[in-house]
Structure 1
Amino acid sequence: MPKGLNVHTEIGPLKKVMLHRPGLDMVYFGDEDFDRVWFHDALYLERAQEEHDRFAELLRQEGAEVLYLEDLLKEALDADPDARGEFTNTYLAESRLPGKEYAAAAREFLDSIEDTGEFVKRVFRGIRRKEVELPHRSAHTLAELDATKDDPDSLIDPLPSSYFTRDAFAVVGNGVNMSHMYHYNRNRETLLGETIFTHHPEYRGVPLWYDRKSSFHTEGGDVLNFGRHTLAVGLSQRTEAAAIDQMAQNMFWGDEECEIEEILAFKIPASYAFMHLDTVFTQVDVDKFTVHPNILGTLKVYRLTPGATKGEVRIAEIDDTLEHILEKALGIDSVQLIECGGGDPVLAAREQWNDGSNTLCVKPGVVCVYERNVVTNDLLCKNGMKLLVVPSAELSRGRGGPRCMSMPFWREEI
């Protein structure tokens, strides 16, 4: 298999992809914790794992090597004797512990786990208060005092959304857009990716087009590769305009050589229903896209290109139809938009809620879809697509589809 990263399109034959199999990170929180852990349902874990295993098997059957986030993190931590200490320092600093005594107790607990694989499982699972010996002396801060009162059972929250491996970073060309996540609990997921790209023998030192420490939030679901030189980015609830400005600076004028010469910023409604650009449309073939009909006619699109002098970025608003914008970006004569739910407003809303537009293209004309989106799937079949159907009774309840659950590391060129 090829080494490193190589992703220039959304549809090139998928050769290597990263997933995260749901585990106990999905278990140790209750409904009262939903807003804090940023996951809004309680999944039946065993069934979710069965569905996820089927997803992975479908990808393997199409010739893709499946990597697991948890394995890559373990390998990265084992590869460098300093990596685990650095990781633990940042992980604890970003876990919002209520005072130094609590941080010390959590550190002692984590340091007691000798096996790296078990340590990684605990990173995803979090730490419950009853698992550690917490300080009993008088509190020195209000945060410590409050932590002894009606506080959640969790000392360090789990990372239940981490099976959406698309969000924490995005591979662009031979480099990576690290995310600064919208919600603070999810931002710890980006630390996992940063550790891999800093310490893993196969991936360390890849170019970074965006830094997780940047001030403005952005997420990988808003990043679509339209070609070697063109990138689409959603200006959305989860990705700020200032983040796209910074991407443009880094890609056009940064120290690392980047092939991107044009960024198309698609402004989409800032709402949970349209949280990322890939919940609005995804590419399924050379000339075909799934699309949510509610955004047709409402999109504003901005084109960012390098200016004449170093550091200059030109910005122009594009006043055109989505079809024409996509045709020009892809350099083809025509595109076909396949409407989620067949364009029916009620069916479209239902199937978009279950990520009918969030497909993962494995090769041109071959896409992974959730089985429950029967109307959209039927349309895809009628338009000549081969469907890899993922069982989705549990996985879909996390509000993300096959594209959300996958991060391509290598696609062949088309």
Structure 2
Amino acid sequence: MTTGLNICSEIGELRKVMLHRPGDELLNLSPDNIGRLLFDDIPFLETAQAEHDRFAQMLRDEGVEVLYLDQLVAEALAANPMARESFVRDYVAECGIDGPGVREAVRQRLEDIDDPLELVEKAITGVRADEVDLASVKDASLADVMEAGGGDENPILVDPIPNVYFTRDTFSVIGSGVSLNRMRSATRRRESLFGRYLFTYHPEYSHVPIWYDPASPYHIEGGDILVLSASVIGVGISERTQPAAIDRLAKHLLWSEKSQVRAVYAFSIPHKRSFMHLDTVFTQVDVDTFTVHPGILGTLKVFSITRGAHEGETRISQMEGTLDQVLASALGLSAVRLIKCGGDDPIAAAREQWNDGSNTLAVRPGTVMVYQRNAVTNDILYHAGVNLLEIPSAELSRGRGGPHCMSMAFWRDAVK
């Protein structure tokens, strides 16, 4: 039986993973709000759920225990009588409502939910104007009047949190501890509440080391964090992760007595939406094999962060060599193999990278989960000897994230 957290690689036998099944939050997406909620299109919920259920069942068929974020957070809230009230207060404080009367009406709507799981689900779904008693708002401020407009002009008081099915991002398991990340976009920052309450109050996870505090002013997201080995992690300097955040994370990991990390490799990737995280441009599929988007080859800068001469200090040095040489050095191997997303076809590479062709989830060395739609890349991986578990992905992929994005591994065995 596995308890606590244990992630010392990206490819060790996967024993326990956390997912979030897409829910009614997707029904609160509309053409008017998808832009600020970081969606390019609106997934069809019924099909997205069927695809996600298939993803979860495929994991179970491989012997993986599947946990769900909403259930874990509900268990955390139920475990401490103070947690539920505090959760509602913190959620309302971060939900973006300026009018004090409307804010109180939303708080009351959430307080009236007795079941912890239903409360968490409502926090994810968002709150519509027709769900609260806006008529009870007295001595309304101008902000209250505008926010309580209701009808077709303002049907949603609290935005949904539709990106939460990408459980990789808001916190990251590293070794036996967790980085509680600060999301770059305001629309995703409420997601950090779930990780904070999970790792504060859940009986199984409340005592794990915390490597990063989301109260930090610098943003960092989990899709940019790859655990290359027990002693080396990679972090992307990306559109969504700042160098100053990597400095803080590295210092904590390198100098904590509870951490095995001895080096942090910072990979500078293009700051653009199609390359939003490190795991959208490369992931590990076997002991010596990675998928990679060819667009980053030849331009990538990599920096090594290690302990400095004095307590708490770090030393920065730019790595020499190509990406495969840097990765081989990080893993202590003579060489690694890079398999190009889309092969040598630039159109296929761009198309399939957009659909997360490089975003794989290893179940064990050499066996990875991929999106079925990336036929060119999958064929190349297959002929390279990689065992593929193909996930249906017509709707899940509309959220701009693949199998690695949709999963947060809690426990992997050591690589043999």
Residue 136 of structure 1: CA displacement? 5.0
TM-score relative to the length of structure 1: 0.97
| Aligned 8 A contact 2:101 2:138 in 1 | no
- Structure 1 contact 179–190 (Cα < 8 Å) conserved: yes
Q: 1:139 deviation in Å?
A: 3.8
Report the Cα distance in structure 1 between the residues aligned to 2:72 and 2:225, rounded to whole angstroms: 22
Residue 125 (structure 1) aligns with = 125
- Quote the residue 2:381 is aligned against: 380
CA distances 1:306-352 after superposition (whole Å, capped 9, x unpaired): 10101211000112100100000001111110000012110000000
Partner of 2:9: 9
Q: Which amino acid aligns with 1:365?
A: G
The within-5 A match list for 1:231-380 is: 231-254=233-256, 257-380=258-381
Q: 1:213 aligns with which of 194, 212, 215?
A: 215
Where does 1:19-38 land on structure 2 (aligned, <5 Å)?
Answer: 19-38=19-38
Alpha-carbon distance, 1:193 to partner: 1.0
Q: Distance in 2 between matches of 1:40 and 1:72?
A: 29
Give a deviation string over 1:93-146, Cα, whole Å, max 9, x none: 1101122111110111011111122112111111101110125555435x3343
Q: Is the 8 A contact 1:358 1:402 kept in 2?
A: yes
Match of 1:94 in 2: 94
What is the distance in 2 between the residues matched to 1:194 and 1:148? 30
Whether the 8 Å contact between 1:31 and 1:40 is mirrored in structure 2 is: no
Stretches of structure 2 that go unaligned for 5 or more consecutive residues are none
SS of the equivalent of 1:66 reads strand
Q: Aligned letter for 2:104?
A: A
Q: What is aligned with 2:390?
A: 389
2:168 is matched with which residue: 163, 166, 169?
166
* Matching residue of 2:407: 406
- Cα offset for 1:34? 1.1
Do the aligned partners of 2:102 and 2:137 also contact (CA within 8 Å) in 1? no
| 1:151–1:262 CA distance, 2 compared to 1 (3 A) | farther
Amino acid at match of 2:79: A
What is the CA–CA distance in structure 2 between the aligned matches of 1:97 and 1:39, rounded to whole Å? Answer: 22
Match of 2:35, SS state, is: helix
- Contact kept in structure 2, 1:164 and 1:400, CA below 8 Å: yes
Aligned residues: 412
CA distance in 2, matches of 1:99, 1:37: 22
CA distance in 2, matches of 1:144, 1:271: 37
Q: Deviations over 1:354-397 (max 9, x none)?
A: 00000001100000000000000000100111111000000011
Q: Is the 8 A contact 2:14 2:364 kept in 1?
A: yes
Question: Partner letter of residue 159 of structure 1?
Answer: I
- CA offsets per residue over residues 174-222 of structure 1, 9 Å max, x none? 0001110011121111110111110111111211100111110010000
SS at match of 1:88: helix
SS at match of 1:32: coil
CA–CA distance in structure 2, aligned partners of residues 132 and 114 of structure 1:
16
In 2, the alpha carbon distance for the partners of 1:95 and 1:234 equals 29
Distance 1:411 1:151 in 2: 48
What is the CA–CA distance in structure 2 between the aligned matches of 1:343 and 1:187, rounded to whole Å? 38
Q: Secondary structure at the match of 1:27?
A: helix
Q: Is the CA contact 2:292–2:338 (under 8 Å) kept in the aligned structure 1? A: yes
Does the 8 A contact of 2:285 with 2:362 survive in 1? Answer: yes
For the residue of structure 1 that corresponds to 2:36, the secondary structure is helix
Alignment of 1:60-75 (within 5 A): 60-75=60-75
Q: Return the TM-score normalized by structure 2.
A: 0.97
**Counterpart of 2:392 in structure 1: which amino acid?**
P
